Structure 1
């Protein structure tokens, strides 16, 4: 496999393909670490930046975790930016279940090598807007944390964000229950106001929610293959994800593995055919009642002829998992 990032082209399997410029907006927990790895590994992606947010962990530690994961993957050249550190209408406070699921340090309590690289001084929202202006439709943005950075960028420069070619988010639950309340998914629940502002804007959004991520699972059978590469990256990622799998075994034993929430969003941003969609107008309930942070069809726009949210509702999990594993194993073996 040869990478020709400077020419925006990749040769893989004898095929010449264009490379997608991608920004990841993460709150670096375990599945965000897998999302970063997927983006670094996939030959169709040029990861031009990682934007950190709060959520699974606070924004500063999310940034530190992202830097360490990139260092583990020999991708220190990817810049990391810190975006919004609090939701739009309240102060961030880490919820107990995030420490349970992701560990105290956010990455399964696994210690990764410190890197001399630090986060960029430029604000992450400004970097996002600047990149939107520079790359336009050639830019893909994947948000796997709260939607605060996207909402802030829309408010600051709507026209720039309207230029972005692909905005895919991991968040929401339309046809299944939430994972932090009966109706709310975690990323939406962190900042429902921001999520509602994003969904009710005129930007086209692809929503990869619990509807599909709960069906896309990883087990220790797969992480064992990472260990068998005999690489630091393979072994450390297996340690991180095995922690996650063990937690899932305790709190979601019916699933039979850990959900690939965030890396599935990256996969769908690259190859939309992994999932099937409902095309809808979505809103988020922001009132502090039993339906707080619910993602649901927007009654006010029910009869609008145009829709702006592509909601993933079914997934080709076998094909996705094969691509996921091929990408990870190819990358880990390359790092020997």
Structure 2
């Protein structure tokens, strides 16, 4: 265990695997979760914000700041929400507890929350972005100092050496707002791309969640019910008995970079046309270099995720 927990903000569009990532971060003693910022993507932004607030409440963190963010892409028309993957409200058929009166989002918009959180602890805060990158691009627009004040950015997004998951070319988060992704990748901060090249290698099954249901009944039951819908989608679309552990893998990458095989190279983002959202390694002079996760110790990442969720630290 690290001596000092890693300070993290998760930018999210919950989403079943987002919920997995949020609950993991709240349970991991090596993480100091400073807040959640929400964005459209898997669901509309108001639903994402409500889900984030409810997940924090369910997990026994009712005071965790949740700042609402972008409701649409920067330039392109909005894409369809991922209701076929995550359900109409983002968490399959699971029903979250109602919010108590007065439990509202942080009054700051997400871009300001990100900037002020990083400015308050310069060089300490890692932003883990597991949705479209619109909030991060907005923060760069209004608060450009965030690029030198953040410790770094972990992006769950992209598909470098394999096909996408929403088109043959594009991964969902980048596809939702490729202009934002291009702005984030061009900014002078340390970006690590945790894309489908590694996240599709880490598989979770329904049986994996059973011990969590026993040891953290409230959160475990919610996650197991939400995951049923997610598992059914993967079975129907890929014949997979389980699901890809996309967003939790990105959170784990922030703490366990040694579990990933990486390369350093610039990345180009296609922003329009039939290949919109495509990410590919670019010539050296074309863009700023990013850290690219190209391989993963999938059993170790899965084991870390299950170790934390099975420990019984959540209610």
Give the stretch that moved more between structures: 52-61 or 152-161.
Answer: 152-161
Name the SS for the 2:310 alignment partner. helix
Alignment partner, residue 10 of structure 1? none
Q: CA deviation at 1:73?
A: 0.7
Aligned residue among 24, 43, 47 for 2:10 = 24
Secondary structure of 2:293's partner? strand
Q: How does 1:128-277 map to 2 (within 5 A)?
A: 128-229=114-215, 231-253=217-239, 255-277=240-262
- Contact between 1:141 and 1:167, CA under 8 Å: does it hold in 2? yes
Q: Which residue in the other structure is 1:4 paired with?
A: none
- Quote the Cα distance in structure 1 between the aligned partners of 2:39 and 2:231: 24
Determine the C-alpha separation between the residues in 1 that align with 2:216 and 2:189: 44
TM-score normalised to structure 1 length: 0.89
Distance 2:22 2:3 in 1: 21
More displaced 10-residue stretch of structure 1: 170-179 or 16-25: 16-25
Distance across 2 between alignment mates of 1:334 and 1:263: 17
Give 3-state SS (helix, strand or coil) of 1:299's partner: coil
| 1:34 matched residue in structure 2 | 20
Q: What corresponds to 2:78 in structure 1?
A: 92
In the superposition, the TM-score normalised over structure 2's length comes to: 0.95
Q: Which residue number in structure 1 is paired with residue 299 of structure 2? A: 318
Aligned to 1:334: 313
RCO comparison, higher one (Cα < 8 Å, 6+): 2
Quote the offset at 1:335 in angstroms.
4.2
Q: 2:3 is paired with a residue of what secondary structure?
A: strand
Unpaired segments ≥5 residues, structure 2: none
Deviates more, 1:290-299 or 1:216-225: 290-299
SS in 2 for 1:48: strand
Residue of 85, 96, 106 corresponding to 1:101: 85
Cα distance in 1 for residues equivalent to 2:314 and 2:117: 29
1:308 counterpart residue number = 289
Structure 2 distance, partners of 1:101, 1:283, is 27
Label 1:298 to 1:335 Cα distance change in 2 as closer, same or farther (>3 A). closer
- Cα drift, residue 92 of structure 1: 3.0
Q: CA deviation at 1:320?
A: 1.0
Alpha-carbon separation, structure 2, partners of 1:93 and 1:200: 23
Q: 1-side partners of 2:2 and 2:259: how far apart?
A: 21
Deviation per CA, 1:141-183, whole angstroms, max 9, x where unpaired? 0000001111111121222222211210100000110000000
CA contact (8 A) 1:132 1:161 kept: no
- State whether structure 2 residue 24 is matched by structure 1 residue 43: no
Pairs aligned (count):
313
* Match of residue 267 from structure 2: 282
Query: Quick one: distance in 2 between partners of 1:256 and 1:232?
Result: 24
Is residue 2:299 matched to residue 1:293?
no
Cross-structure match for 2:109: 123
Displacement of 1:93 in angstroms is 4.4
